[in-house]
């Protein structure tokens, strides 16, 4: 049995794997650390931050606000997406 992954050509004859988790880079998240969460996820539970990088296997590097922008590695499954209103929308509401 062979596992297939999406691939693209990158200005050369070689192929490069696409990380499907890259769509999460820059998103605001909160550490929720579920039942299967690792020790770091349990330790940082309820901390908020921004995803800075991702990997194919589901690892993410999150910059945590409460730790002076310290970056830690967690599993994507240990995070919850925060819904944040754009600043321009908020400013419009305040001036109306």
Query: Can you give the pLDDT at residue 48?
Result: 93
Return d(Cα 34, Cα 42) in angstroms, integer. Answer: 8
The answer as to whether 70 is a domain residue is yes
pLDDT at 35: 61
Predicted pLDDT of residue 3: 28
Task: Tell me how far apart the 2 most distant CA atoms of the chain are, in Å.
Answer: 60
User: How many residues belong to the chain?
Assistant: 96
Per-residue pLDDT of the chain (96 residues; tens, 9 = 90+): 222 333 343 554 455 667 888 888 999 998 887 665 677 788 898 999 999 998 888 888 999 999 888 899 988 888 888 886 555 555 555 555
Residue 93 lies in a domain: no
Rounded Cα distance, 54 and 77, in Å: 12
Place of tokens 């990997």: 55
Decide if 19 contacts 6 (C-beta within 8 A): no
Q: Is residue 88 part of a domain?
A: no
| Domain limits for position 41 | 19-83
Query: How high is the pLDDT of residue 57?
Result: 82
Residue 32, domain member (yes or no): yes
The CATH number covering residue 55 comes to 2.30.30.30
User: Structural domain tally of the chain?
Assistant: 1
Q: Residue 37 has what pLDDT?
A: 60
């Amino acid at each position: 049995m062979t596992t297939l992954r999406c691939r693209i050509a990158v200005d050369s004859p070689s192929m490069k794997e696409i990380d499907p988790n890259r769509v999460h880079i820059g998103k605001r998240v909160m550490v929720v650390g579920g039942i299967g969460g690792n020790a770091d996820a349990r330790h940082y539970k309820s901390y908020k931050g921004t995803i800075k990088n991702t990997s194919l296997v589901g690892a993410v590097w999150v910059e945590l606000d409460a730790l002076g922008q310290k970056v830690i590695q967690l599993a994507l499954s240990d995070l919850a997406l925060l819904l944040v209103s754009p600043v321009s929308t908020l400013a419009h509401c305040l001036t109306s």
